[in-house]
Amino acid sequence: MSQPAIQVTDLKVYFPTGKRDRPVRALDGVSLSVEEGSFHAVVGESGCGKTTLARALIGLQPATAGSISIRGRNISEWMRDRKRFASEVQFVFQNPLGALSRRQTVRQSLEEPLLIHRMGSASERGARIAKLMELVGLPSVMLDRLPRSLSGDQRQRVAIARALALEPSILICDEPLSALDVSIQAQIVNLFSELQRDLGLTIVMISHDLAVVREMCTQATVMYLGKVAEIGRIDLMFRAPGHPYTEALLSAVPSLNPREEKKRHRIVLKGDPPSPMAPPSGCRFHTRCIIAEPRCSTIEPPLEAKQTGTVAACLVTS
Protein backbone atom coordinates (compact mmCIF):
# COMPACT_ATOMS: atom_id res chain seq x y z
CA MET A 1 0.00 0.00 0.00
CA SER A 2 1.67 3.15 -1.14
CA GLN A 3 1.97 6.14 1.07
CA PRO A 4 -0.97 8.52 0.90
CA ALA A 5 -0.26 11.94 -0.60
CA ILE A 6 -1.71 13.67 2.44
CA GLN A 7 -2.08 12.17 5.89
CA VAL A 8 -3.84 14.11 8.61
CA THR A 9 -3.71 12.67 12.10
CA ASP A 10 -5.87 13.94 14.95
CA LEU A 11 -5.55 17.54 13.79
CA LYS A 12 -6.76 20.17 16.22
CA VAL A 13 -7.00 23.89 15.49
CA TYR A 14 -8.35 26.05 18.27
CA PHE A 15 -8.79 29.81 18.01
CA PRO A 16 -8.51 31.67 21.30
CA THR A 17 -11.39 33.89 22.30
CA GLY A 18 -11.75 36.22 25.25
CA LYS A 19 -12.77 33.33 27.46
CA ARG A 20 -9.89 31.19 28.66
CA ASP A 21 -11.31 27.71 28.43
CA ARG A 22 -13.76 28.28 25.60
CA PRO A 23 -11.77 28.64 22.42
CA VAL A 24 -13.40 28.22 19.05
CA ARG A 25 -12.74 24.58 18.25
CA ALA A 26 -12.53 24.91 14.49
CA LEU A 27 -10.97 21.47 14.13
CA ASP A 28 -11.24 19.08 17.03
CA GLY A 29 -9.39 15.91 16.17
CA VAL A 30 -9.63 15.34 12.42
CA SER A 31 -7.97 12.37 10.76
CA LEU A 32 -8.07 11.54 7.09
CA SER A 33 -5.84 10.43 4.28
CA VAL A 34 -5.83 11.42 0.64
CA GLU A 35 -4.51 8.92 -1.88
CA GLU A 36 -2.20 9.89 -4.71
CA GLY A 37 -4.02 10.89 -7.84
CA SER A 38 -7.42 10.99 -6.19
CA PHE A 39 -9.98 13.75 -6.33
CA HIS A 40 -11.03 14.17 -2.73
CA ALA A 41 -13.90 16.38 -1.58
CA VAL A 42 -14.31 17.85 1.88
CA VAL A 43 -17.93 18.80 2.43
CA GLY A 44 -19.90 20.33 5.22
CA GLU A 45 -21.80 23.42 6.19
CA SER A 46 -20.54 26.67 7.64
CA GLY A 47 -18.69 26.24 10.89
CA CYS A 48 -17.66 22.66 10.21
CA GLY A 49 -14.02 23.58 9.81
CA LYS A 50 -13.47 22.67 6.19
CA THR A 51 -11.88 25.98 5.29
CA THR A 52 -9.64 25.78 8.35
CA LEU A 53 -8.60 22.32 7.24
CA ALA A 54 -7.74 23.56 3.76
CA ARG A 55 -5.70 26.42 5.15
CA ALA A 56 -3.91 24.10 7.53
CA LEU A 57 -2.98 21.82 4.63
CA ILE A 58 -1.38 24.67 2.73
CA GLY A 59 0.45 26.05 5.74
CA LEU A 60 -1.57 29.22 6.16
CA GLN A 61 -2.99 28.03 9.46
CA PRO A 62 -0.74 26.57 12.13
CA ALA A 63 -2.07 23.58 14.04
CA THR A 64 -2.79 23.62 17.73
CA ALA A 65 -2.21 19.86 17.98
CA GLY A 66 -1.99 16.83 15.77
CA SER A 67 0.00 16.39 12.59
CA ILE A 68 -0.21 16.85 8.86
CA SER A 69 2.21 15.03 6.66
CA ILE A 70 2.43 15.53 2.94
CA ARG A 71 4.35 12.92 0.98
CA GLY A 72 5.76 11.65 4.23
CA ARG A 73 7.18 14.93 5.45
CA ASN A 74 5.63 16.82 8.32
CA ILE A 75 4.17 20.18 7.45
CA SER A 76 6.45 22.03 9.85
CA GLU A 77 9.40 20.62 7.95
CA TRP A 78 7.87 21.76 4.69
CA MET A 79 7.35 25.26 6.04
CA ARG A 80 11.06 25.66 6.52
CA ASP A 81 11.51 25.47 2.76
CA ARG A 82 8.51 27.42 1.56
CA LYS A 83 9.65 27.56 -2.03
CA ARG A 84 10.00 23.82 -2.36
CA PHE A 85 6.59 23.36 -0.80
CA ALA A 86 5.15 25.86 -3.27
CA SER A 87 6.38 23.81 -6.19
CA GLU A 88 4.61 20.71 -4.89
CA VAL A 89 1.40 21.94 -3.28
CA GLN A 90 -0.72 24.86 -4.45
CA PHE A 91 -3.98 26.54 -3.50
CA VAL A 92 -7.01 27.90 -5.33
CA PHE A 93 -8.98 30.47 -3.35
CA GLN A 94 -12.71 30.88 -3.17
CA ASN A 95 -13.04 34.39 -4.44
CA PRO A 96 -11.03 34.92 -7.61
CA LEU A 97 -11.40 38.68 -7.46
CA GLY A 98 -9.68 38.85 -4.09
CA ALA A 99 -7.13 36.20 -4.98
CA LEU A 100 -5.69 38.17 -7.88
CA SER A 101 -3.95 41.45 -7.26
CA ARG A 102 -6.15 44.13 -8.78
CA ARG A 103 -3.11 46.04 -9.95
CA GLN A 104 -1.56 43.22 -11.91
CA THR A 105 -2.43 42.15 -15.41
CA VAL A 106 -3.09 38.49 -16.14
CA ARG A 107 0.40 38.13 -17.52
CA GLN A 108 1.94 39.66 -14.43
CA SER A 109 -0.12 37.45 -12.13
CA LEU A 110 0.91 34.34 -14.02
CA GLU A 111 4.53 35.38 -14.20
CA GLU A 112 4.87 36.17 -10.52
CA PRO A 113 5.36 32.59 -9.28
CA LEU A 114 7.89 32.01 -12.02
CA LEU A 115 9.78 35.15 -11.05
CA ILE A 116 9.73 34.28 -7.38
CA HIS A 117 11.29 30.93 -8.18
CA ARG A 118 13.59 32.45 -10.77
CA MET A 119 12.47 30.01 -13.40
CA GLY A 120 13.99 30.30 -16.81
CA SER A 121 14.67 33.22 -19.05
CA ALA A 122 12.10 35.76 -20.12
CA SER A 123 11.25 33.83 -23.25
CA GLU A 124 10.95 30.55 -21.38
CA ARG A 125 8.58 32.19 -18.96
CA GLY A 126 6.57 33.59 -21.84
CA ALA A 127 6.25 30.13 -23.33
CA ARG A 128 5.14 28.68 -20.01
CA ILE A 129 2.53 31.41 -19.60
CA ALA A 130 1.16 30.73 -23.07
CA LYS A 131 0.90 27.06 -22.22
CA LEU A 132 -0.91 27.80 -18.97
CA MET A 133 -3.46 29.96 -20.75
CA GLU A 134 -4.09 27.14 -23.16
CA LEU A 135 -4.44 24.66 -20.32
CA VAL A 136 -7.26 26.62 -18.73
CA GLY A 137 -8.88 27.58 -21.99
CA LEU A 138 -8.20 31.31 -22.08
CA PRO A 139 -7.29 33.22 -25.24
CA SER A 140 -3.92 34.94 -25.19
CA VAL A 141 -5.48 38.37 -25.76
CA MET A 142 -6.52 38.33 -22.13
CA LEU A 143 -2.93 38.42 -20.97
CA ASP A 144 -2.86 42.19 -20.83
CA ARG A 145 -6.16 42.67 -19.07
CA LEU A 146 -6.73 43.57 -15.46
CA PRO A 147 -8.89 41.33 -13.28
CA ARG A 148 -11.70 43.84 -13.12
CA SER A 149 -12.29 43.60 -16.86
CA LEU A 150 -12.61 39.84 -16.74
CA SER A 151 -15.73 37.84 -16.03
CA GLY A 152 -16.04 35.62 -12.96
CA ASP A 153 -15.08 32.40 -14.67
CA GLN A 154 -12.21 34.00 -16.52
CA ARG A 155 -10.80 35.23 -13.23
CA GLN A 156 -11.09 31.79 -11.71
CA ARG A 157 -9.36 30.28 -14.70
CA VAL A 158 -6.51 32.74 -14.25
CA ALA A 159 -6.31 31.81 -10.58
CA ILE A 160 -6.19 28.12 -11.49
CA ALA A 161 -3.55 28.75 -14.16
CA ARG A 162 -1.46 30.63 -11.63
CA ALA A 163 -1.75 27.76 -9.19
CA LEU A 164 -0.51 25.39 -11.87
CA ALA A 165 2.40 27.61 -12.91
CA LEU A 166 4.88 25.86 -10.67
CA GLU A 167 3.69 22.44 -11.78
CA PRO A 168 2.49 21.24 -8.39
CA SER A 169 1.30 17.69 -7.95
CA ILE A 170 -1.19 18.49 -5.21
CA LEU A 171 -3.89 21.13 -5.51
CA ILE A 172 -6.01 22.33 -2.57
CA CYS A 173 -9.14 24.24 -3.61
CA ASP A 174 -11.33 26.21 -1.24
CA GLU A 175 -14.85 26.39 -2.70
CA PRO A 176 -13.60 27.54 -6.10
CA LEU A 177 -17.06 27.35 -7.64
CA SER A 178 -19.27 29.14 -5.14
CA ALA A 179 -18.72 32.60 -6.54
CA LEU A 180 -19.67 31.59 -10.07
CA ASP A 181 -22.89 31.50 -12.02
CA VAL A 182 -24.38 28.07 -12.60
CA SER A 183 -23.75 27.91 -16.32
CA ILE A 184 -20.14 28.88 -15.72
CA GLN A 185 -19.67 26.53 -12.79
CA ALA A 186 -20.28 23.68 -15.15
CA GLN A 187 -17.42 24.84 -17.38
CA ILE A 188 -15.02 25.00 -14.43
CA VAL A 189 -16.21 21.60 -13.17
CA ASN A 190 -15.26 20.13 -16.51
CA LEU A 191 -11.97 21.99 -16.43
CA PHE A 192 -11.08 20.49 -13.07
CA SER A 193 -11.95 17.00 -14.25
CA GLU A 194 -9.81 17.45 -17.35
CA LEU A 195 -6.87 18.84 -15.43
CA GLN A 196 -6.97 16.07 -12.91
CA ARG A 197 -7.05 13.49 -15.64
CA ASP A 198 -4.41 15.02 -17.90
CA LEU A 199 -1.95 16.21 -15.27
CA GLY A 200 -2.46 13.41 -12.79
CA LEU A 201 -3.06 15.85 -9.96
CA THR A 202 -4.10 14.96 -6.45
CA ILE A 203 -6.89 17.42 -5.68
CA VAL A 204 -8.55 18.23 -2.38
CA MET A 205 -11.71 20.22 -3.07
CA ILE A 206 -13.60 21.98 -0.30
CA SER A 207 -17.25 22.44 -1.20
CA HIS A 208 -20.72 22.71 0.20
CA ASP A 209 -22.40 21.63 -3.02
CA LEU A 210 -22.86 17.89 -3.00
CA ALA A 211 -24.26 17.63 -6.52
CA VAL A 212 -21.19 19.26 -8.00
CA VAL A 213 -18.89 17.18 -5.81
CA ARG A 214 -20.45 14.03 -7.16
CA GLU A 215 -19.64 15.10 -10.70
CA MET A 216 -15.96 15.59 -10.13
CA CYS A 217 -14.72 13.74 -7.10
CA THR A 218 -14.09 10.14 -6.20
CA GLN A 219 -13.76 10.37 -2.45
CA ALA A 220 -15.36 12.57 0.15
CA THR A 221 -14.94 13.53 3.78
CA VAL A 222 -18.04 14.88 5.49
CA MET A 223 -17.36 17.23 8.37
CA TYR A 224 -19.57 18.46 11.15
CA LEU A 225 -18.57 20.97 13.78
CA GLY A 226 -14.85 20.34 13.63
CA LYS A 227 -14.95 16.57 13.40
CA VAL A 228 -15.19 14.00 10.66
CA ALA A 229 -18.62 12.47 10.31
CA GLU A 230 -17.94 10.16 7.41
CA ILE A 231 -15.20 9.33 4.89
CA GLY A 232 -15.31 7.10 1.89
CA ARG A 233 -15.91 6.62 -1.78
CA ILE A 234 -18.57 8.92 -3.11
CA ASP A 235 -20.45 6.35 -5.13
CA LEU A 236 -20.89 4.23 -2.02
CA MET A 237 -21.54 7.11 0.35
CA PHE A 238 -24.12 8.92 -1.68
CA ARG A 239 -26.07 5.81 -2.45
CA ALA A 240 -26.13 4.56 1.13
CA PRO A 241 -24.80 7.04 3.65
CA GLY A 242 -23.36 5.64 6.85
CA HIS A 243 -23.95 8.75 8.94
CA PRO A 244 -27.30 10.47 9.58
CA TYR A 245 -25.74 13.88 8.87
CA THR A 246 -24.57 12.75 5.45
CA GLU A 247 -28.07 11.54 4.83
CA ALA A 248 -29.53 14.88 5.87
CA LEU A 249 -27.09 16.75 3.62
CA LEU A 250 -28.01 14.58 0.68
CA SER A 251 -31.67 15.01 1.41
CA ALA A 252 -31.28 18.78 1.41
CA VAL A 253 -30.23 18.72 -2.23
CA PRO A 254 -33.39 19.31 -4.27
CA SER A 255 -34.24 17.34 -7.36
CA LEU A 256 -34.61 19.24 -10.59
CA ASN A 257 -37.80 17.47 -11.43
CA PRO A 258 -40.62 19.23 -9.57
CA ARG A 259 -42.88 16.20 -9.51
CA GLU A 260 -40.17 14.04 -7.99
CA GLU A 261 -39.23 16.83 -5.66
CA LYS A 262 -42.71 17.08 -4.22
CA LYS A 263 -42.99 13.32 -3.82
CA ARG A 264 -39.55 12.90 -2.33
CA HIS A 265 -39.21 12.18 1.35
CA ARG A 266 -37.16 15.01 2.79
CA ILE A 267 -35.25 14.99 6.01
CA VAL A 268 -35.52 18.47 7.45
CA LEU A 269 -33.22 18.95 10.41
CA LYS A 270 -34.48 20.87 13.37
CA GLY A 271 -32.76 23.91 14.70
CA ASP A 272 -29.51 25.53 13.70
CA PRO A 273 -25.95 24.21 13.81
CA PRO A 274 -24.52 24.68 17.31
CA SER A 275 -21.67 27.09 17.92
CA PRO A 276 -18.11 25.76 17.60
CA MET A 277 -17.36 27.41 20.91
CA ALA A 278 -19.74 25.17 22.81
CA PRO A 279 -20.08 21.89 20.95
CA PRO A 280 -22.64 19.42 22.29
CA SER A 281 -21.38 16.62 24.50
CA GLY A 282 -20.96 13.15 23.12
CA CYS A 283 -21.77 12.98 19.45
CA ARG A 284 -21.86 16.55 18.21
CA PHE A 285 -24.74 15.86 15.91
CA HIS A 286 -27.05 14.32 18.48
CA THR A 287 -29.01 17.56 19.11
CA ARG A 288 -30.35 17.59 15.55
CA CYS A 289 -30.19 13.89 14.73
CA ILE A 290 -33.40 12.01 14.06
CA ILE A 291 -32.04 8.59 15.01
CA ALA A 292 -30.23 9.75 18.13
CA GLU A 293 -30.31 7.44 21.12
CA PRO A 294 -29.70 8.37 24.76
CA ARG A 295 -26.10 7.16 24.69
CA CYS A 296 -25.31 9.55 21.82
CA SER A 297 -25.28 12.47 24.21
CA THR A 298 -22.58 10.99 26.41
CA ILE A 299 -20.27 8.92 24.25
CA GLU A 300 -18.23 10.41 21.43
CA PRO A 301 -18.48 7.99 18.54
CA PRO A 302 -15.22 6.77 17.00
CA LEU A 303 -14.75 6.40 13.27
CA GLU A 304 -15.56 2.85 12.34
CA ALA A 305 -16.13 0.95 9.14
CA LYS A 306 -19.75 0.55 8.19
CA GLN A 307 -21.45 -2.08 6.15
CA THR A 308 -22.02 0.41 3.39
CA GLY A 309 -18.30 0.51 2.73
CA THR A 310 -17.54 3.90 4.19
CA VAL A 311 -16.12 4.90 7.54
CA ALA A 312 -18.41 6.91 9.82
CA ALA A 313 -18.52 8.22 13.36
CA CYS A 314 -21.92 7.04 14.53
CA LEU A 315 -23.00 4.74 17.30
CA VAL A 316 -26.36 3.95 15.79
CA THR A 317 -25.76 3.07 12.16
CA SER A 318 -24.26 -0.30 11.39
Partner 1 sequence: MNAQAQMASQAVLQIRDLKIDLYTETVCVRAIDGVSLEVAPGEMVAIVGESGSGKTVLTLAPLGLMPEGVSIDIIGSVKCRGNELVGKARSAGTALTRGDVGVVFQDPISALNPMKRIGPQLCSQAMRKRGVNRAEGRQIAIDLLKRTGIPDPVDRYQRYPHEMSGGMLQRAMIALALAGKPRLLIADEPTTALDATVRAQILELIKDIQRTEGIAVVLITHDIGVVSSVADRVVVLYAGRIAEIGSVENVLTAPVHPYTKGLLASVPEIRSDVRGTVSGIPGSPPDQSHLHRGCPFSPRCALAIPDHCDRIRPVLLPIPGRSEGDQAACHVTNPAMKDA
Partner 2 sequence: MLNVLRWAGRLPWRILAPIVLFILVALFAPLIAPYKPGVQDYSALLLPPGPAHWFGTDYLGRDLFSRVVMGARVSLVAMSTVLASALFIGVVVGSFAGYVGGRIELVMISFIDVVLCVPSLIIALAFIGIFGAGYWTMVGALTMAWWANYARMSRAVVASEIGQPYIEAARVMGASHLWIYVKHLLPHVLSLVVVYASADAGALVLAIATLSFLSLGVQPPIPEWGQMLVDGMSYLEESPRLVIVPGIALTLVVISFNLLGEHFALKKVPKPLPRRRLTRLMEARRTEEEMLSRQETIG
Binding region for partner 2 (CB under 8 A): 58-60, 82-83, 85-87, 90-91, 93-95, 98-103, 112-113, 116-117, 159, 162, 166
Q: Which of 210, 229, 296, 313 binds partner 1 (CB under 8 A)?
A: 210
Question: How far is the CA of 200 from the CAs of 115, 118, 172, 191, in angstroms?
Answer: 25, 25, 14, 13
Q: Which of 90, 109, 185, 310 binds partner 1 (CB under 8 A)?
A: 185
| Binding partner at 304 among partner 1, partner 2, none, C-beta below 5 to 8 Å by kind | none
- Closer CB to partner 2, residue 94 or residue 287? 94
> Contacts with partner 1 in 143-162 (CB under 8 A)?
151-154
Q: Evaluate whether 277 touches 47 at the Cβ level (below 8 Å).
A: no
CB 281 to partner 2: min, Å: 34
- Strands 73-74 and 304-305 come out as unpaired
Contact 89, 58 (CB under 8 A): yes
Q: 183 or 318, CB closer to partner 1?
A: 183
Per residue, the 3-state secondary structure of 103-155, as one string, reads CCCHHHHHHHHHHHCCCCCHHHHHHHHHHHHHHCCCCHHHHHCCHHHCCHHHH
Residue 109 or 310 with smaller CB distance to partner 2: 109
Least distance to partner 2, CB of residue 96, Å: 9
**Binding partner of 151, given partner 2, partner 1, none, CB within 5-8 angstroms per partner class:** partner 1
Closest approach, Cβ 209 to partner 2, in A, equals: 20
Does residue number 17 form part of the binding site for partner 1 (CB under 8 A)?
no
What is the closest distance, in whole angstroms, from the C-beta atom of residue 245 to partner 1 in the complex? 9
Asked if residue 265 binds partner 1 (CB under 8 A), the reply is no
| Vertex 31: Cα angle to 25 and 37 (nearest 5) | 130
**Going by C-beta distance under 8 Å and a sequence separation of 6 or more, which residues neighbour residue 32?**
8, 221, 228, 231
One-character DSSP codes across 2-54: PPPSEEEEEEEEEE--SSTT--EEEEEEEEEEE-TT-EEEEE--TTSSHHHHH
Closer residue to partner 2 (CB): 138 or 283: 138
Helices then strands (H, E): number in the chain?
Answer: 12, 12
The yes or no reply on residue 269 touching partner 1 (CB under 8 A) is yes
Nearest to 169 by CA among 111, 60, 86, 100: 86
Contacting residues toward partner 1, per CB under 8 A:
45-46, 151-154, 181-187, 189-190, 193, 208, 210-212, 214-215, 238, 248-262, 266, 268-269, 272-273
